Structure 1
Amino acid sequence: MTETTNTLRLTFLNSENKKSNLSFPDAAANLDKVAVKGAMDVISKEGVFEKEEVDLYKVPHSASYIERTVTTVFDDSKTTAGEQA
């Protein structure tokens, strides 16, 4: 069995000029640059995400879709201990 997931990862520079990420699993796959950049601009301007006096999402840096594929070789998780040989 193969399972593929998509995650939208938004990368910002924080107030210490280090990268901070926001990830959205199962985000819509058809978002364009204008929509994503606009949302990132709103997040950065609001300045509501702070940790230990560091603004985590100060400047939009980049956005990427991350596709992950997992192929199961076997899965005995549904087998109970009494059914195992």
Structure 2
Amino acid sequence: MSVKSKILQLTFLNGAGKKTNVALPDAIENLTAVTVERAMNQIAQADSFSKDGVDLYKVPQSASYIERTVTSLFDHTRN
């Protein structure tokens, strides 16, 4: 049995210059690059997310839809 899933992954540089990702599993499919980049810029400008004093989503870098297929060979956990 195969299970397919699709996420929208947003990649930013944080305040320390390191990459950080946000994975959105229920994102609308077929968003345009302009729409996603605009949303990412709004997230960055909101300056609302930090950890240990470092802004998490400072500079938008990229956005990608990622599709994943999991094919189970066996699963004894299902009864």
TM-score greater than 0.5 by the shorter chain: yes
Partner of 1:26: 26
CA RMSD, Structure 1 to Structure 2 (Å): 1.0
- Show structure 1 runs of 4+ deviating over 6 A: none
In the alignment, what sits opposite 2:62?
Answer: 62
State how far apart, in whole Å, the 2-side matches of 1:7 and 1:74 are: 25
- Aligned 1:6-85 pairs, distance under 5 A: 6-79=6-79
The letter for the 1-side match of 2:24 is F
1:77, CA displacement in angstroms? 2.1
User: 1:53 is matched by which residue type in structure 2?
Assistant: G
Give the secondary-structure state (helix, strand or coil) at the position aligned to 1:44.
Answer: helix
Q: Secondary structure at the match of 1:73?
A: coil
Q: Once the two structures are aligned, what percentage of the paired residues are identical? A: 52
Deviation at 1:76, TM superposition (A): 2.6
Q: What are the ranges of 5 or more consecutive residues in structure 2 without an aligned counterpart?
A: none
Q: Which runs of 5+ in 1 are unaligned?
A: 80-85
Q: State which structure, 1 or 2, has the greater radius of gyration over its C-alpha atoms.
A: 1
Number of paired residues? 79
Match of 2:5 in 1: 5
TM-score normalised to structure 2 length:
0.93
Task: Report how far residue 53 of structure 1 moved.
Answer: 1.0
